[in-house]
Amino acid sequence: MTENPQRQKSTPLETLIGVFGYPAFRPYQEGIINSLIRGEDAFVLMPTGGGKSLCYQIPALHRPGVGIVVSPLISLMKDQVDALRANGVAAAFYNSTLGEREARRVLMELHDGRIDLLYVAPERLMGDAFLERLAELEIALFAIDEAHCISQWGHDFRPEYIQISRLRRLFPGVPVIALTATADHQTREDILIRLGISRAACHITGFDRPNIRYTVEDKRKPFAQLLDFLRFREPYDAGIVYALSRKRVEEVAARLSAEGFAAAPYHAGLPDRERQRVQEAFQCDDLQVVVATVAFGMGIDKPNVRFVVHYDLPKNIESYYQETGRAGRDGLPAEALLLFGYGDIAIARGLIENGGNPEQNRIELHKLNSMVGFAEALICRRRVLLGYFGESLAEDCGNCDICLNPPERYEATEDARKALSCVYRVGQRFGMGHVIDVLRGSRNERVRELGHDRLSTYGIGATLGQEEWGGIIRQLVHLGYLEQDLARYSVLRLTETARPLLRGEQTLILARPRIRPVSAKKPKRGSRPGDNGKGCNEMLFQALRALRKEIANREGVPPFVVFGDATLTEMAARRPVDAGELLSVSGVGQHKLGKYGAEFLRVITGFDESA
């Protein structure tokens, strides 16, 4: 505890600047860090890329003893530890990949108080021998990463996490911080109870990922559309293309390779070794595109994934959000493109209907419908996404295809009122299909049997087509005038918001349904992501990238461990000429300055514009 100067002397902010090289905390980070330093428990729900790691890394440096980090993914531990070491932090991991000698060395360092952060797999941590060792040591904190793995409610339950529940009783005085990016209310409660930290302060940040641009394109000629999209990217931008089947994955990867892209397939049918190779090549910037089934992702901790393309329709919004969330973890602009084909809906529906129990199927069908609703949305995509997770945006995002290329709007008060009153007339007990049938005056059997052809709203919407009414009703759902009951056949019901509209006290502008979605405007090429108009020199940026890659190879770490893209972009824009200026670039801390500063300064100062 003596060799670490942060502990006594500096503030968390000074550690952020000096060790990690970042000029300011992100929202929430500072509060969480301070409460943990005071010894309080914390629960943190932040989106991927939100900056969760610093929330326990900095307190571990400021509290006496070693910080123990529980993480489920062995493949990620090494990267995390490499990244910390690159900043001069005494970090290590302890898991089954270590040889006997290495493991013994880690334990010795641990005993000597020479480790500030130890990453441990849960089953290792909870072994009796290891717990006995810990009992003799001073422990700064326990950080439980991917904390939803402890809950059976969560989508990623891991039995080995259950054991962690004992930590609180075994180490009553040590603060516990639980972190996750995916927890609904039930899972959240479950995490707190299981970890025995029900009094923990909950820090819940928004779900929004403002740097990701969401675009949905009508799926016409998917491969040609993918090529079109990729050709608008910089040739070194890395990304993931998700497809539904192994066969499609193989096919798209082969065609991309034939077009000259550094692309590779990834799916559960490939041998472990091959999958490992693809993953590492991607981490190390040696592969540009990974075409993958959803098997690819959990083990990916690459901050500079610039795009995620969905070649096929994801099965629900949760998956879509998680998969697109792998883009832009470094906070720089990133793209999420969904190719949306009506045929895909039928395929997805078929897969669900062939599956297990009816109750489950109904929920999955509803979730699929919400996904389709997103793809068909005529209002800001981000509003729909966040709305799905129970969050609302104060205004349209300005960074999705709808905001950038808005559909035509029209005075829709009359139409909306017709739809709402029809929902009311059928007793708020039917889904969209039936409501539209009644509105359009359908003669189908169900309508007649129910006597709905005698309702006052029967046939009042005959001038509009089925798809148009679908578009209107979905907008009413997204805007909160109607709600769909998940548990009961997606039944439509009015909300309080609908009243003034029904009573004629309010008017409403809606987007005119685009029966054939117009393809989205392409992002402008030219400006580099993160450039912010500061005039990042492209050639200098390339030279810095080459140097980064050289250093990464030399040290056997992924390039982003040396410096992130944002840091290189800032260097290429500001062109620091000495150590002091280089240190003020975000992402350059004292340790990296000492280690790499001279090499980077040499490239920057020796850069010849005219060459």
Shortest spacing between CB 27 and Zn ion, in angstroms = 21
Terminal Cα-to-Cα distance of the chain (whole angstroms): 51
Residues in CB range of 43: below 8 A, 6 or more apart: 147, 177, 178, 188, 191, 192, 197, 200, 201, 202, 203
Residues in CB range of 272: below 8 A, 6 or more apart: none
Return the number of the residue (383 or 548) whose C-beta is nearest Zn ion: 383
Rounded CA gap, 286 and 468, in Å?
A: 47
Q: Provide the binding-site residues for Zn ion, judged by CB under 5 A.
A: 380, 382, 396-397, 400, 403
* Residue 25 binding target from ligand ADP, Zn ion, none, CB below 5 to 8 Å by type: ligand ADP
Q: What does the per-residue mask of binding to ligand ADP show for 21-50, with x meaning CB under 6 A?
A: -x--xx--x----------------x-xxx
Return the number of the residue (93 or 214) whose C-beta is nearest Zn ion: 214
Three-state DSSP state, 178: strand
Shortest spacing between CB 399 and Zn ion, in angstroms = 6
Return the number of the residue (397 or 508) whose C-beta is nearest Zn ion: 397
Q: Which runs of E-coded beta strand occur in 27-90?
A: 42-45, 66-70
Shortest spacing between CB 298 and ligand ADP, in angstroms = 13
Return the number of the residue (278 or 379) whose C-beta is nearest Zn ion: 379
* Residue 403 binding target from ligand ADP, Zn ion, none, CB below 5 to 8 Å by type: Zn ion
296 binds ligand ADP (CB under 6 A): no
Identified binder of ligand ADP from the candidate list 267, 306, 329, 592, rule CB under 6 A: 329
Rounded CA gap, 386 and 208, in Å?
A: 7
Report how far apart, in Å, the C-alpha atoms of 171 and of each of 18, 135, 142, 195, 352 are.
Answer: 31, 8, 10, 12, 45
* Residue 184 binding target from Zn ion, ligand ADP, none, CB below 5 to 8 Å by type: none
Compute the CA torsion angle 361, 474, 387, 402 (nearest 10 deg): 120
Stretch that binds ligand ADP, among 60-68, 323-331, 400-408, 540-548 (CB under 6 A): 323-331
Strand 305-310, strand 289-292: pairing? unpaired
* Residue 397 binding target from Zn ion, ligand ADP, none, CB below 5 to 8 Å by type: Zn ion
Shortest spacing between CB 466 and ligand ADP, in angstroms = 42
Query: 512 φ, ψ to 5°?
Result: -75, 125
Return the number of the residue (20 or 296) whose C-beta is nearest ligand ADP: 20
229 binds ligand ADP (CB under 6 A): no
Return the number of the residue (407 or 587) whose C-beta is nearest ligand ADP: 587
* Residue 400 binding target from Zn ion, ligand ADP, none, CB below 5 to 8 Å by type: Zn ion
Three-state DSSP state, 105: helix
* Residue 380 binding target from Zn ion, ligand ADP, none, CB below 5 to 8 Å by type: Zn ion
How many residues are listed for the chain in this entry? 611
Three-state DSSP state, 440: coil
Helix (H) or strand (E) holding 415: helix 413-425
> In a 10 Å sphere around its CB, with 0-12 CB exposed, 13-18 middle and 19+ buried, how is residue 546 labelled?
exposed
* DSSP label of 400: B
Site for ligand ADP in 554-573 (CB under 6 A): 564
Rounded CA gap, 46 and 488, in Å?
A: 31
Return the number of the residue (2 or 392) whose C-beta is nearest Zn ion: 392
326 binds ligand ADP (CB under 6 A): no
54 binds ligand ADP (CB under 6 A): yes
Q: Are 327 and 183 in contact, with CB atoms under 8 Å apart?
A: no
* Residue 297 binding target from ligand ADP, Zn ion, none, CB below 5 to 8 Å by type: none
Neighbours of 245 (CB within 10 A): 12
Shortest spacing between CB 179 and ligand ADP, in angstroms = 7
Contact positions vs ligand ADP (CB under 6 A): 22, 25-26, 29, 46, 48-54, 303, 329-331, 564, 586
